[in-house]
Homo-oligomer: A and B are copies of this chain.
Amino acid sequence: MPPSHDPISTLGSSLGKKVIIKCKRHKTFTGVLKSFNTHLNVLLENVSFTFFERNPEEDNALEEKSEKFNRIVLRGDSIVFIGLK
């Protein structure tokens, strides 16, 4: 392997900063990165979570929704990418 830094260790410089995380199926999380591990499991704080959901009461229309969380542990398996400042 070439003398290249591990991409995941790059996340260390974003600890305490706001990141945006795009997951499978159009789930998006924004929040402050508090910790992570090599599997890309992450701890986020002050999280805004947006996603799409069908609404059974509106003829299953697709609706964009948003929820807030103080802290979440997000599994790396769900993540497509993490956007850094």
Contact = CB atoms under 8 A, between A and B. Distances in A.
B23 A80 contact: yes
Contacts of A37: 1, 4, 6-8
Contacts of A78: 80-81
17 contacts: A1-B9, A1-B12, A1-B37, A2-B9, A4-B35, A7-B36, A8-B37, A11-B73, A29-B81, A47-B83, A56-B62, A60-B62, A69-B83, A71-B84, A72-B82, A73-B84, A75-B80
The range of chain A's interface size is 35 or more
A7 B42 contact: yes
A48 to B, nearest CB: 12
